Amino acid sequence: MEPQPPPQHALRPVTADEHILGNLDATVLLVKYGDFECPNSQRLHFALIELRERLQERLTIVFRHFPQGNLHPHAHKAAEAAEAAAAQGHFWPMHALLFAHQDALSNGFLVEYALQVGLDIPRFLQEVSGGVHRERVEADRQSGQAAGVEVAPALFIDQVRYRGGWSTPELLAAIESERR
């Protein structure tokens, strides 16, 4: 019997309603699946900030949720809080706060972060406690699984799964290699 090729996984195409930092016409498109409570997701978050500063308009970052509730008990609620912030036009500031304070993601802290980014708190509380954004978070997680993601973080550079380290130099080298 001949060996079977590995299964092919398809990355869901990026759509305009996603969390996009940059222009979709940029030279480099990164799709990140992350978990706000995951230390490696946090490490990648900070590396991507540096990368964006270096590459500027040549780089676009798309964030998709991949909460790992079995490892990180606050990850799913934090993802829903980020979505509630997105509904009020403040996804990226909330995203930054959640990664900056990943050791403090219980409900009280989420409300504090919502205040810091200027959200309508009654609306935020209603959406988070009512699970309004649970389906969106789950859809992101399922799209990651369909693309072969098993743990966060996972990164795709121009539709190709990246499996290297999370430092800025390693990411730059991978992008340069992909550009050739």
Residue 168 within any structural domain of the chain = yes
Q: Kind of pairing, strands 28-34 and 59-65?
A: parallel
Query: How far apart (Å, rounded) are the C-alpha atoms in residues 58 and 101?
Result: 29
DSSP code string of 61-111: EEEEE---TTT-TTHHHHHHHHHHHHHTT-HHHHHHHHHHTTT--SHHHHH
- For residue 120, what are its two tokens? 């309508």
- For residue 139, what are its two tokens? 């859809």
Residue 11 within any structural domain of the chain = no
Q: What is the pLDDT of residue 3?
A: 54
Q: Yes or no: say if 40 and 161 are a contact pair by the CB < 8 Å rule.
A: no
Establish how many alpha carbons lie within 13 A of residue 106's alpha carbon, considering only the half-sphere containing its beta carbon.
1
Residue 173 within any structural domain of the chain = yes
Q: Which of 4-18, 126-140, 160-174 has the lowest mean pLDDT?
A: 4-18
| C-alpha to C-alpha distances, 84 to 53, 123, 172, nearest whole angstrom | 27, 8, 32
Residue 77 within any structural domain of the chain = yes
The mean pLDDT value of the chain amounts to: 93
Q: Which of 40-44, 62-66, 175-179 has the lowest mean pLDDT?
A: 175-179
The answer, yes or no, to whether residue 51 has pLDDT greater than 50, is yes
Radius of gyration of the chain (CA): 17
Residue 61 within any structural domain of the chain = yes
Q: Tell me the per-residue pLDDT of 20-37, one tens digit each, with 9 for 90 and over.
A: 999 989 999 999 999 999
Residue 103 within any structural domain of the chain = yes
The answer, yes or no, to whether residue 180 has pLDDT greater than 70, is no
Q: Which residues, in sequence order, are CB contacts of 62 under 8 Å at separation 6+? A: 14, 18, 19, 20, 21, 29, 30, 31, 32
The answer, yes or no, to whether residue 123 has pLDDT greater than 50, is yes
Q: What is the pLDDT of residue 7?
A: 52
**Range of 29's domain?**
19-179
Number of domains in the chain: 1
The answer, yes or no, to whether residue 126 has pLDDT greater than 90, is yes
Residue 159 within any structural domain of the chain = yes
Percent pLDDT > 70 in the chain is 94
Q: What is the pLDDT of residue 69?
A: 84
Query: How far apart (Å, rounded) are the C-alpha atoms in residues 49 and 58?
Result: 13
**Sorting pLDDT into bands at 50, 70 and 90, what band is 5?**
very low
| C-alpha to C-alpha distances, 62 to 26, 47, 159, nearest whole angstrom | 12, 14, 12
Between 9 and 109, the higher pLDDT residue: 109
- 49: domain CATH number is 3.40.30.10
pTM: 0.92
Residue 10 within any structural domain of the chain = no
Q: What is the pLDDT of residue 102?
A: 96
